[in-house]
Amino acid sequence: GQSLEQPSEVTAVEGAIVQINCTYQTSGFYGLSWYQQHDGGAPTFLSYNALDGLEETGRFSSFLSRSDSYGYLLLQELQMKDSASYFCAVRGGQGGKLIFGQGTELSVKP
Amino acid sequence: NAGVTQTPKFQVLKTGQSMTLQCAQDMNHEYMSWYRQDPGMGLRLIHYSVGAGITDQGEVPNGYNVSRSTTEDFPLRLLSAAPSQTSVYFCASSYGGANGELFFGEGSRLTVL
């Protein structure tokens, strides 16, 4: 089976940097993904890590350590529009089958 | 591009009624899946399909059936609705590439009374 753990809530101020951690347990591992969801709308893809290290996409970066079964999403220069829920997801098999964590609600304050 | 289209967007059922949530994608994706989202529970995988004619169970399949007769369509059937199935349902598709990026529909909000 697969399970993921991430904090339920994180609060930060505009312009700051925030890190959302994710630990996972899985019988097979193809990669760790991150998704963003605003106000219960459709989740949208942010990033994917299959190999150890840091992947950077603009203000967002994602890190993976396969030996530690751990990853994180780093958001820099926070903006009010970054207030959303963030989900990590493990791809444990071929074909894109994803199992999601319970999500972290990020609140960005002025 | 329509992407992933779900219908209906809202539905109210009585306990014991049956219904089908429709999902269609126009991206020629092989992989399709259904998730339900409840407060504090994240997205839980109900059923998924890796291609036409192939389906498999996810984390919470009980009470739901699926079929995949075409690449484009992946309907989710509730045979006898229960209040525990009150939730927001998301359909997603993927081309199954290296990063497995899922494209989600806008969701179907189901209430079972």
Of A18 and A30, the one with more pLDDT = A18
Q: Please, what is the end-to-end C-alpha distance for chain A in angstroms? A: 41
Which residue among B95, B96, B104 sits closest to A43, beta carbon to beta carbon? B104
Per-residue pLDDT reduced to its tens digit, B61-106 = 999 999 999 999 999 999 999 999 999 999 999 987 667 789 999 9
Query: Is pLDDT at A96 greater than 60 in this prediction?
Result: no
Query: B27 CB near a chain A CB, below 8 Å?
Result: no
Long-range contacts of A27-30 (CB under 8 A, 24+ apart): A27/A1, A27/A2, A27/A92, A28/A92, A28/A93, A29/A66, A29/A90, A29/A91, A29/A92, A30/A91, A30/A92, A30/A93, A30/A94, A30/B100
Sheet holding A53-57, edge to edge: A2-5, A18-26, A70-75, A60-65, A53-57
Asked if B28 and B71 count as a contact pair (C-beta separation under 8 A), the reply is yes
Which residue among B42, B50, B104 sits closest to A103, beta carbon to beta carbon? B42
Residues in B closer than 8 angstroms to A30, CB to CB, are: 100
Measured CA to CA in angstroms, residue A64 lies from A35, A57, A73 at distances of 15, 15, 9
Q: Quickly state the pLDDT bin for A9 (edges 50, 70, 90).
A: very high
Query: B5 CB near a chain A CB, below 8 Å?
Result: no
What's residue A93's pLDDT? 63
- Measured CA to CA, the distance from residue A9 to residue A17 in angstroms comes to 15
Are A96 and B100 inside 8 Å of each other by CB?
yes
What's residue B4's pLDDT? 97
